[in-house]
Structure 1
Amino acid sequence: MGPKVYSGISLESDGFTVYRVPDAGFDAKVRELAAGTTVRFRDTRYSHQDAERIRQDVMGMTTTGFDVSSVSIPQDCEVLKVGVRGDLATAKRTLEARFGARVRVEARTVVPVAG
């Protein structure tokens, strides 16, 4: 149940929203634990566990032409944002060929701190 289902959570002033791969048992357990609190569920296709696996794969890549500087996982775990330095076109081709629509590749600029 848990890691294969859970994607993320967001807190609101009137309760919280749980992002998860649909699972009736998981939903029932969350409702039980959050008794008296408003809980909303949002369906996702991927769990956080799956998104974390992709994040680790991306961060572990060694390539020529670009460096991966960051990978962020959104609450719904759908499309991971990948920040790169170097050749953006090569990064997009390489990462999208391997991970498809699960990644969005963006240029990251490093700004030196004045000292």
Structure 2
Amino acid sequence: MDTAGDRLIVYRRTDARFDAALAGLGLGVHVDLRDAPRSRKEMRATHDRLVPLVGHTTGYRIVRVGRGGDDLGFTRGVVEVGVNGDLQRAKRELGAEFGDRIQVVAVELPAG
């Protein structure tokens, strides 16, 4: 929701019936419809394939798997994967398996 611009931003897969139903709600604000690169179902499927890899990688450790319900997921259609260890290896290996459906980022673990 963009409160400064008094508008509602909706990321969705193109669907004329959904768009018409949303328009019929009479929300009283401008509704900005944006095409989502992937559906929530697709994002969830990627997430669900990543989770079993936690604790089962070599040279890096997956420490966080996003759910795709954030700006990165909505706007780019990717699930963020936080890793600790060999970032380049993680990008190479996970990228080979998941392609452009993920973004691999380095995560520093707290000391202790």
Q: Which residue does 1:4 correspond to in 2?
A: none
Moved >6 Å (runs of 4+): none
Q: Which residue does 1:84 correspond to in 2?
A: 83
Normalising by structure 2, what TM-score? 0.79
In the TM superposition, what is the alpha-carbon distance from 1:71 to its structure 2 partner?
A: 2.5
Residue 15 (structure 2) aligned to one of 6, 13, 23 = 23
Gaps of 5+ in 1: 1-10
> Identity of counterpart residues, as a percentage?
35
Q: Deviations over 1:60-101 (max 9, x none)?
A: 212222221122322235222211012212211111011111
Q: Please tell me whether residue 60 in structure 1 is matched to residue 52 in structure 2.
A: yes
Question: Higher strand fraction: Structure 1 or Structure 2?
Answer: 1
- Amino acid of the residue matched to residue 48 of structure 1? R
Q: Which residue does 2:32 correspond to in 1?
A: 40
In the TM superposition, what is the alpha-carbon distance from 1:107 to its structure 2 partner?
A: 1.2
Q: Distance in 2 between matches of 1:96 and 1:104?
A: 8
- Amino acid of the residue matched to residue 93 of structure 1? R
When the two chains are superposed, the root-mean-square deviation of aligned CA atoms in Å is 1.8
Gaps of 5+ in 2: none
**In 2, are the aligned partners of 1:47 and 1:77 still within 8 Å (CA)?**
no
**In 2, are the aligned partners of 1:20 and 1:76 still within 8 Å (CA)?**
no
Q: Please tell me whether residue 101 in structure 1 is matched to residue 100 in structure 2.
A: yes
The residue matched to 2:28 in structure 1 has which SS? coil
Q: How many residues align?
A: 103
The residue matched to 1:18 in structure 2 has which SS? strand
Q: Distance in 2 between matches of 1:107 and 1:34?
A: 44
The residue matched to 1:36 in structure 2 has which SS? coil
Q: Which residue does 1:70 correspond to in 2?
A: 64
**In 2, are the aligned partners of 1:51 and 1:77 still within 8 Å (CA)?**
no
